[in-house]
C-alpha cells in the first residue's frame, strides 16, 4: 500500500496501455497464423480477451484502448480488402460497431467489479485493524497502553510513522526518539505548541524537517485533549499528494476518535491517570521520607566516626564504646531505610538491570568487602575456582542480593561460627552458595522465607529486621533471570542459600584473535 500511494498515477496508466498494446499485438499474431494455416474466417470476437484482461487488470482507459486497437487490427488484417482500414462488406461494418459496443460495456463492468473487490478488501483490512484496536483497548491497563494502542492503530491504517504524544510535557521531555521513530526537533516544538493548547489546531499544521520530510502535527481529537497529539511522517511528497494524505488522516482520525469515544476511552484514561497519580504520590512520599531520614543519618554516622577517632576519646574506653553504638545503630538504620527504598523500587516500577559482562569473583569479593565489618566475628571461608565463567548480569544487583544473604547468615548465626562462600558451574548455571552454621529452617519457615516482610517466629523476639532482605535478594536475582533457593537440614543445623544465574556460554563474545598482538 505504501508503494501504490507513492506511485505516479499517469505512469501507471501508461504502463497499462503499453501492456494492452502488447496483448493486442500478440493476439493479432496468433490469429494471423491461424487464419493462414487453418483458414479461419476472421476473429474480431477474440479481441474481447485483451479487453477483459485490460479492464480487470489496468482499468477503463487501457480497456477502451484494447477495444479500439482490436477493431483496427481486425479491419486491417482480417476483413477484405486486407492490409487496409477500409471494409467492403456493410455487414462486417455492423459486426465491428457491435464489437466496439460490447467491448466498452464489458470493460465498464469489469472495472467496476475490480473496484468493488478492492473496496471490499480495504474494508476487511480496516475492520481487522479496528477489531485489533478495540481488543487492545479492552486489555489496556494504563494510559500508556491506551496511547500505544492509538499510536499503533493510526500507524497501521496510515502506513506511515506515527508518534503520539500524550501531553506537552511528554513532548518537551522526549529526546526525539519514541517507539523507534526519530522525531525532528522542529516537529517536537510544534507538538509542544499544539499539546499545550497555544494553537487552535483542528486541521493540523505541517512542518518540513531538515531532511525534507513533511510532518503533520495535530490533536487526535479537536474535542478531547486526553487523546493527545500525533505527529505523522508524510514523507517527501508533492503539495497535492500531501494534501490528499491529510484528507485521509482526517478521515482516519475521525473514525478513530469516534471509536475511542464509543469505547469510553477518555474515561478510562482519566481513571488510569488517577490510579497512577495515587501510586506516584505513595512513591514520592516514601522517597522523600527516606531522603529526609537519610540526610541526618549521614551527619550522625559521619560525626560518630570523627568522634571515635578523636584524640580526646582515645583513652576513654566507655565513651568510645558509646560512640561505637551510635555509629553501628545509625548504620543499621541506614540499611533498613535502604531496604525500604529497594522494596519500593521493586514493587513500583520493577527492577531494571543494567547487564554487562562481569566476573563473578569480582561480585563476590566486593559483596564480602561491603559486609566486612558485619562479618568480623564469623569465620569466613571463601572458595572460588580460578576459571569461573563470565556472566551477563547487572553486577551491582547481584552484589546487593549477596549482601542481603550475608546479612541474613550473620543475623541467624552465633559469633565465631563459620560462613562459607563458594561458587561453581552446574548444567549451564553459575551457582553461588552461602553456607552458615546458624539457626537453620523449619519446614514451615522454608515455605515462607521468600515472602515480603517474612519474619521467623522463633526469632521475632530476639533478632531485629524488617523481613525484607531475602525478598529483595530474590527480586534482584530474578531480574537477572536467576533464582535463589534455601536448603536446611532442620532447625539449628545451618542454612545454605544458593544464587543460581544462567551462563550463556555460547553467547560469551569471543575476543578477536589479534587483541593482544
Partner 1 sequence: MSEPSPIVLVVDDEIQIRRFLRTGFELNGFVVHEAGTGAEAIRSATLRPIDLVIVDLGLPDMDGADVVERIRSWSSVPIIVLSVRSSEAEKVHLLELGADDYVVKPFGMAELLARVRVALRRQMRAVSGEPTVKAGPLTIDLAARAVLLNDKRLTLTPKEYRLLQVLAQHAGNVVTHQHLLKEVWGSIHVHDTHYLRIFVRKLRQKIEPHPDSPKILVTELGVGYRLVQSGNEVDAPAWPDAAPAKSET
290 neighbors 337 (Cβ within 8 angstroms): yes
Among positions 357, 428, 447, 460, the unique one binding partner 1 when judged by CB under 8 A: 357
Asked if 380 touches partner 1 (CB under 8 A), the answer is yes
Among positions 61, 102, 272, 303, the unique one binding partner 1 when judged by CB under 8 A: 303
CB of 3 to partner 1, least distance (A): 37
d(CA 304, CA 432): 35
Asked if 490 touches partner 1 (CB under 8 A), the answer is no
Residue placing its CB nearer to partner 1 in the complex, 235 or 287 = 287
DSSP secondary structure code for residue 492 in this structure: T
220 neighbors 162 (Cβ within 8 angstroms): no
Asked if 289 touches partner 1 (CB under 8 A), the answer is no
d(CA 381, CA 398): 20
Asked if 329 touches partner 1 (CB under 8 A), the answer is no
Helix pair angle (60-73, 9-38), 10° resolution: 30
Which of these segments, 109-117, 123-131, 269-277, 293-301, binds partner 1 (CB under 8 A)?
293-301
Least Cα distance to 138 among 301, 274, 268 occurs for 268
Asked if 361 touches partner 1 (CB under 8 A), the answer is yes
Q: Which residues pair with 498 in a beta bridge?
A: 433, 485
Which of these segments, 12-20, 170-178, 331-339, 458-466, binds partner 1 (CB under 8 A)?
331-339
Asked if 424 touches partner 1 (CB under 8 A), the answer is no
Residue 482 DSSP SS3:
coil
212 neighbors 236 (Cβ within 8 angstroms): yes
Least Cα distance to 57 among 110, 2, 109, 121 occurs for 110
Asked if 311 touches partner 1 (CB under 8 A), the answer is yes
Omega of the bond prior to 81 within 30 degrees of 0, cis?
yes
Helix pair angle (317-349, 469-478), 10° resolution: 50
Answer positive or negative: Cα dihedral of 424, 427, 430, 434. negative
Asked if 414 touches partner 1 (CB under 8 A), the answer is no
Asked if 180 touches partner 1 (CB under 8 A), the answer is no
Residue 98 DSSP SS3:
helix
Asked if 297 touches partner 1 (CB under 8 A), the answer is yes
Which of these segments, 83-91, 207-215, 352-360, 428-436, binds partner 1 (CB under 8 A)?
352-360
Among positions 301, 473, 497, 498, the unique one binding partner 1 when judged by CB under 8 A: 301
Residue placing its CB nearer to partner 1 in the complex, 362 or 489 = 362
CB of 474 to partner 1, least distance (A): 18
Which of these segments, 204-212, 233-241, 272-280, 367-375, binds partner 1 (CB under 8 A)?
367-375
Residue 137 DSSP SS3:
helix
Using CB under 8 A as the criterion, which residues of the chain lie in contact with partner 1 when the complex forms?
294-299, 301-303, 305-306, 308-311, 320, 324, 327, 330-331, 334, 338, 341, 354, 356-359, 361-363, 365-366, 372-373, 375-382, 384, 386, 390, 394-396, 399, 508-509, 511, 515-517
Amino acid at each position: 500500500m505504501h508503494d501504490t500511494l507513492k506511485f505516479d498515477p499517469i505512469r501507471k496508466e501508461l504502463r497499462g496501455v503499453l501492456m494492452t498494446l502488447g496483448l493486442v499485438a500478440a493476439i493479432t499474431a496468433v490469429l494471423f497464423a491461424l487464419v493462414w494455416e487453418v483458414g479461419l474466417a476472421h476473429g474480431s470476437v477474440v479481441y474481447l480477451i485483451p479487453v477483459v484482461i485490460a479492464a480487470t487488470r489496468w482499468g477503463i482507459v487501457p480497456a477502451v484502448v484494447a477495444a479500439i486497437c482490436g477493431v483496427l487490427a481486425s479491419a486491417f488484417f482480417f476483413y477484405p480488402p486486407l492490409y487496409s482500414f477500409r471494409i467492403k462488406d456493410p455487414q462486417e461494418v455492423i459486426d465491428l460497431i457491435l464489437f466496439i459496443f460490447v467491448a466498452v460495456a464489458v470493460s465498464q463492468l469489469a472495472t467496476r467489479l475490480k473496484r468493488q473487490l478492492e473496496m471490499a478488501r480495504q474494508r476487511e483490512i480496516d475492520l481487522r485493524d479496528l477489531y485489533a484496536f478495540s481488543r487492545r483497548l479492552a486489555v489496556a491497563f494504563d494510559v500508556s497502553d491506551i496511547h500505544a494502542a492509538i499510536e499503533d492503530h493510526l500507524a497501521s491504517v496510515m502506513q506511515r510513522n506515527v508518534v503520539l504524544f500524550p501531553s506537552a510535557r511528554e513532548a518537551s521531555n522526549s529526546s526525539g526518539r519514541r517507539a523507534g521513530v526519530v522525531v525532528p526537533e522542529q516537529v517536537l516544538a510544534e507538538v509542544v505548541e499544539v499539546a499545550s493548547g497555544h494553537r487552535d489546531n483542528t486541521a493540523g499544521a505541517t512542518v518540513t524537517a531538515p531532511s525534507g520530510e513533511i510532518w503533520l502535527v495535530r490533536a487526535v481529537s479537536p474535542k478531547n485533549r486526553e487523546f493527545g497529539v500525533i505527529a505523522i511522517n508524510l514523507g517527501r511528497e508533492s503539495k497535492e499528494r500531501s494534501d490528499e494524505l491529510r484528507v485521509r488522516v482526517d478521515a482516519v482520525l475521525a473514525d478513530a476518535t469516534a471509536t475511542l469515544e464509543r469505547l469510553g476511552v477518555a474515561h478510562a484514561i482519566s481513571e488510569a491517570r488517577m490510579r497512577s497519580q495515587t501510586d506516584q504520590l505513595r512513591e514520592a512520599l516514601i522517597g522523600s521520607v527516606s531522603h529526609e531520614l537519610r540526610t541526618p543519618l549521614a551527619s550522625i554516622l559521619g560525626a560518630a566516626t570523627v568522634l571515635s577517632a578523636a584524640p580526646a576519646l582515645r583513652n576513654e574506653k566507655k565513651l568510645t564504646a558509646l560512640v561505637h553504638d551510635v555509629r553501628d545503630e545509625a548504620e543499621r538504620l541506614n540499611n533498613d531505610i535502604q531496604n525500604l527504598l529497594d522494596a519500593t523500587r521493586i514493587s513500583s516500577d520493577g527492577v531494571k538491570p543494567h547487564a554487562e559482562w562481569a566476573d563473578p569473583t569480582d561480585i563476590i569479593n566486593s559483596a564480602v568487602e561491603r559486609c566486612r565489618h558485619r562479618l568480623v566475628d564469623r569465620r569466613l571461608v571463601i572458595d572460588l575456582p580460578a576459571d569461573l565463567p563470565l556472566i551477563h548480569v547487572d553486577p551491582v544487583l547481584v552484589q546487593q542480593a549477596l549482601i542481603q544473604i550475608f546479612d541474613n547468615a550473620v543475623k541467624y548465626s552465633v559469633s565465631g561460627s563459620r560462613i562459607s562462600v563458594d561458587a561453581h558451574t552446574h548444567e549451564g548455571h553459575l551457582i553461588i552458595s552461602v553456607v552458615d552454621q546458624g539457626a537453620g529452617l523449619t519446614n514451615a519457615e522454608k515455605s515462607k522465607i521468600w515472602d515480603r516482610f517474612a519474619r521467623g517466629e522463633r526469632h521475632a523476639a530476639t533478632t531485629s529486621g524488617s523481613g525484607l532482605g531475602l525478598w529483595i535478594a530474590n527480586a534482584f536475582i530474578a531480574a537477572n533471570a536467576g533464582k535463589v533457593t534455601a536448603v536446611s537440614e532442620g532447625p539449628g543445623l545451618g542454612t545454605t542459600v544458593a544464587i543460581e544465574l544462567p551462563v550463556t556460554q555460547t553467547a560469551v563474545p569471543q575476543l578477536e584473535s589479534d587483541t593482544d598482538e
